[in-house]
Structure 1
Amino acid sequence: MTAPSVGKPLPRADGKAKVTGNARYSAEVQVAGVVHGVIVGSHAPKGRIAAIDSSAAEREPGVLAVLTHLNAMKLPGGTEPADQGDRVVQALQDDVIRYSNQPVALVVADTFERATHAANLVKIREQVEPHTVRMEDEIQNGFKQDQKRPYGTIPADQVTGDPDAARKASHAVVEETYETPPETHNPMEPHATVAVWSGPDRLTLYDATQGIFGVRKKLAKAFGIPPENVRVLTKFVGGGFGCKGSAWSHVVLAALAAKQLGRPLKVVLSRTQMFAMVGGR
């Protein structure tokens, strides 16, 4: 019988590499010929893009392209979820603004600094539409769960009692509304993706993710290629707390821009963008 391991310290496989600075995260992956993409986000919480002026950004040294819904390639598989556990992404496919800080342009340059500077020069004119920022105002239009498969693709048995009868039979009923503040994951390592195409239908992604298979499925659907043609590599993750379990818009944008420009491309979200572009609770 082997000695019990409960209550005894165990070596952490990635611990030494992380504390000594030898761990290489997705943003630090070096690929020959890589260019850098910086996302420009919307301001309006809901509306449409009325006009985009990217002329000043395009004149800056080192700028290779400013991608918007006007010139970005159309995704063969669209932006809809790849399965019930996936989500819709915004990848410059239309002029609709669905939330504040939604990606509405991607500036690509030969260095990160030049791309960041040029991104600040892009001017977006937005047509703001009526909206609300209170969840209770739109609760009736919220997501309706598939009762036969409430947990995605896994069938489940559910038994529901009679809450009204239970209330009537109770000695006392307390009615109250409780609210909790929103939570932003925002781990120490921001989201980052490096996209490298090998030919028209083979993609390698170095992505800061906790769900490599979900990312592979998402990219395969979006670009209409077999899942086995998408390779997702993640050596280290610097925190996630849930936000790195999905393929967000920047992941698809990195692959889209890399394919359209024919260059390996890196997208790293800023700390500010981490508050809006990768969800929350």
Structure 2
Amino acid sequence: MIDPQGQANKWVKNMEKANNLHVIKQSDSDFVRTLENCIQFGTPILLENIGEELDPILEPLLLKQTFKQAGSICIKLGDNSIEYSKDFRFYMTTKLRNPHYLPETSVKVTLINFMITMEGLLDQLLGIVVSQERPELEEEKSQLILQSAENKKKLKEIEDKILEVLSSSEGSILEDECAIEILSSSKVLANEIQEKQAVAEVTEHKIDTTRMGYKPIAQHSSVLFFSIADLANIEPMYQYSLPWFINLFVNSIDNSEKSDVLEERSVHQWSVY
């Protein structure tokens, strides 16, 4: 993961927090030992801050050169053969903005660009400013997103169930009382979910309309960040991280003059910069 702003690192750490994620660097003295333990016990591992060259010991792992030995799936790292757990997950991140990996390296991995975009940063800053100014609004927005995802998941499960009934039914489905009952109950449940989804979408639209009032400050701030980030192209000493900028953004919200008029509030916050 190309991750100059640390977004991928943060995402992986949050996602794998409950699974005892191990975070290592190639320069660590216990790098190989930690890698072997995680592979054997199925613990996820994050190798961060890699450069353009990878340690040769990772070769069998990236190529998934597993083999069976005494009834177990194994892999050879260096001189050691260890058991390979099916639960093992391996993540790598680099802070390089434009790394040049050799073709033979690129074909061994799934390369994901986590470089933040103007639109992505705008959405992130909009969420921050709304959570600071209208926390109840942002909380409701988050709940609606989760509810929408759950509704879509249930609809997909219902569709899969209907297809399974239709494909497994023998003869005329009209004569299969069990199949008809399953299809009828699935249809009722699907209608209920669609009604809930319609209500949620209306509510979400109202929330988004209110949130858009804070968009100008998020838009100005995202432009400011990318302007600051480009200073590194002029002089390498001018390098600023995204966490530093977000901290500055939050401070500007806290320290700016309060106002019940949204337009005035945005101007006051912008002036703090």
Mark yes or no: TM-score above 0.5: no
Looking at secondary structure, tell me which structure has more strand per residue. Answer: 1
Looking at secondary structure, tell me which structure has more helix per residue. Answer: 2
Which TM-score band applies after superposition, normalised by the shorter structure?
under 0.3
TM-score (norm 2): 0.22
Structure 1 or 2, whichever has the larger Rg, is 2
TM-score (norm 1): 0.22
